[in-house]
């Protein structure tokens, strides 16, 4: 598998018109443009990586698909289910591959947990816990355009739940609060527990917080008939300092860039593999994006109506 991905062209949406040029220069990318269509139509380009703002994902994916490019698109395809369905359909019609950026599936810890499940190290799964906490809340401006906690943050956990359990969700119940007054004023929540009942009976509970003072907290624990498998956070070192006050270590890796740097690389390698290998199937496809979106919609509905919500209510 090639370790280096030679980009042919780069487009940047940033307001700074010189940004694409600068980056291209720095990294030796031969072409750059401020017109995204020039990338999506470029005759020498086989595949595109779409990391634009969420509201451009669907249109750019559709345009790329029509130009027969394979597509890696950051999650979510869109916040509207119909748009998502239409976009997925466009990639199918065009016969191109569509991969969604659920980076955590490529993290060494979660992959090892998945392997424990697949290799029957813990037997039949009965219960799954997903803990996902950010080190500190984003600015309220971000919160306002984020689509809300379930779309912005829990969406990764919904995908992780489906990835680990290997089934679809029947029913969703959410309980939440807003600890941060600014977030509350913006109409969002920052602390939540979401229960998922899967069709196969497995119960999954996801817990989120926008503020864990000690840093990014990303753990899962699976209870099966033969035992459990759980992963802890990653730390910058394995050093312990013992004094007359405490036995302590440094904080875990602070946020997603540090924690998932290796996962992002593995994700890109997987996309390159998919694009360059006949018959290779996409590890995280459009349907995965759609199902996670449905769970976010169901969680929002559960919270609004304070009742358990069947996912089928939202399939329309």
Residues at the site binding its own copies, with contacts judged by CB under 8 A: 108-109, 111-113, 116, 121-124, 126-127, 129, 133, 173, 175-177, 179, 191-193, 195, 197, 201-203, 205, 207, 209, 211-214, 217, 223, 225-234, 236-252, 306-308
Chain center to CA of 260: 11
Which residue's entry shows tokens 């940004």? 19
Nearer to its own copies, 40 or 192 (CB): 192
Nearer to its own copies, 205 or 264 (CB): 205
Which residue's entry shows tokens 């466009």? 90
DSSP code string of 70-106: EEEEPSPS-SSHHHHHHHHHHHHHHT--EEE--GGGG
Nearer to its own copies, 36 or 160 (CB): 160
Shortest distance, CB of residue 62 to its own copies, whole angstroms? 36
DSSP 175: E
Compute the distance between CA of residue 286 and CA of residue 39 in angstroms, rounded to an integer: 22
Compute the distance between CA of residue 54 and CA of residue 132 in angstroms, rounded to an integer: 22
Shortest distance, CB of residue 84 to its own copies, whole angstroms? 27
Which residue's entry shows tokens 């600890």? 179
Nearer to its own copies, 278 or 306 (CB): 306
Compute the distance between CA of residue 208 and CA of residue 301 in angstroms, rounded to an integer: 17
Shortest distance, CB of residue 120 to its own copies, whole angstroms? 11
Shortest distance, CB of residue 22 to its own copies, whole angstroms? 16
Nearer to its own copies, 192 or 284 (CB): 192
Shortest distance, CB of residue 289 to its own copies, whole angstroms? 26
Which residue's entry shows tokens 């369905």? 85
């Amino acid at each position: 598998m090639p370790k280096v991905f030679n980009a042919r062209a780069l487009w940047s949406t940033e307001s700074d018109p010189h940004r694409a040029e600068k980056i291209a220069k720095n990294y030796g990318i031969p072409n750059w443009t401020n017109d995204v269509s020039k990338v999506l139509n470029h005759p020498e380009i086989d595949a595109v990586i779409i990391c634009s703002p969420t509201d451009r994902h669907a249109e750019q994916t559709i345009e790329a698909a029509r130009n027969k490019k394979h597509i890696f698109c950051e999650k979510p395809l869109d916040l509207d289910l119909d748009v998502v369905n239409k976009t997925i359909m466009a990639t199918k019609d065009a016969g191109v591959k569509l991969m969604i950026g659920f980076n955590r599936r490529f993290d060494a810890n979660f992959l090892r947990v998945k392997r424990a499940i697949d290799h029957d190290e813990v037997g039949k799964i009965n219960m799954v816990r997903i803990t996902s906490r950010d080190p500190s809340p984003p600015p309220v401006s971000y919160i306002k355009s984020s689509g809300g906690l379930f779309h912005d943050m829990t969406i990764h956990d919904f995908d992780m739940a489906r990835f680990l359990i290997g089934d679809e969700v029947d029913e969703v119940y959410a309980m939440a609060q807003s600890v941060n007054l600014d977030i509350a004023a913006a109409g969002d929540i920052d602390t939540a527990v979401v229960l998922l009942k899967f069709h196969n009976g497995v119960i999954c509970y996801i817990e989120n917080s926008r503020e864990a003072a000690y840093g990014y907290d990303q753990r899962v624990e699976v209870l099966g008939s033969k035992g459990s498998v759980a992963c802890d956070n990653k730390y910058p070192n394995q050093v312990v300092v013992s004094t007359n006050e405490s036995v302590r270590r440094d904080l875990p890796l602070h946020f997603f860039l540090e924690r998932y740097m290796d996962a992002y690389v593995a994700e890109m390698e997987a996309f390159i593999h998919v694009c360059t290998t006949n018959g290779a199937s996409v590890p995280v496809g459009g349907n995965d994006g759609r199902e996670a979106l449905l769970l976010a919609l169901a969680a929002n509905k559960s919270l609004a109506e304070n009742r358990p919500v069947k996912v089928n209510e939202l399939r329309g």
